[in-house]
Amino acid sequence: MQSLIDMLPVRIDGLDADSAAEVLVRLVGRGLIAVPAAEATGLAFRWGERLSFRYRDQDELLALLVPYFRQGLAEGERCLWLTETPSPAVAALVGGQYSPDQLEILRDGEWRNELAFWTQQEERALGEDYAGLRICGEDLELDGATASLRIKALCTSRI
C-alpha cells in the first residue's frame, strides 16, 4: 500500500489500496506520471505471490522479463517462461549464464494451468536444490491454492 501512495505526485490521506490504484491508473493513462521501470523499483516478490503486468509491445515486456528472470537465476530459483513465441532476446539479455534446466521455456501444450501441475513443478525445483519456482506466463491464471507453495508468478497480458 505504501509503495502505491509513494507513487502519487501529492499526498492524499485516507486512501485505501483500491482507490490509490484507481488514481494511479488514471494519472498514468493521461500521461501525467510514469510507472517506474522494474530495474528502478526492484522486484520484491514473496513466495506464493502472483503479480500481473499488462504491456503494450515486445520492448516493454522484455524490460520486465529480463530483470525478473535475472533475479530468479541469481537467487537460485528454477525459472519457467510459458510462451508460444519465445524471444531469443530474453536468453541473450539474461546473459546465458544458466543451465537449460534452470531457465526453461514451455510452449502451449507443454504445461497445464492446474494445481497438480504447479505442485509437481515446485517439487521438481525443490528436489533439484533450487530455492523455489519462478513462473512467467501470458494470460496465466493461478488460483489462491498456489499461495502456500514456493512459487513466484508473473502473469502478463498484452494491452
Q: What is the DSSP letter of 77?
A: -
pLDDT in tens, the chain (159 residues): 555 556 565 566 676 767 767 777 777 777 777 765 544 455 778 899 888 888 888 888 888 888 888 889 889 999 998 888 777 666 666 666 677 779 888 888 888 888 899 999 999 999 999 999 999 988 787 767 788 899 999 988 888
Structural domains in the chain (count): 2
CA distance 113 to 51: 16
110 in any annotated domain: yes
CA distance 42 to 61: 16
pLDDT in tens, 46-90: 899 888 888 888 888 888 888 888 889 889 999 998 888 777 666
137 in any annotated domain: yes
pTM, whole model, 2 decimals?
0.71
Residue 3: predicted pLDDT:
58
15 in any annotated domain: yes
Residues 19, 53: one domain? no
Residues 107, 141: one domain? yes
Residues 84, 141: one domain? yes
| Residue 26 structural domain | 1-35
40 in any annotated domain: no
71 in any annotated domain: yes
Residues 13, 60: one domain? no
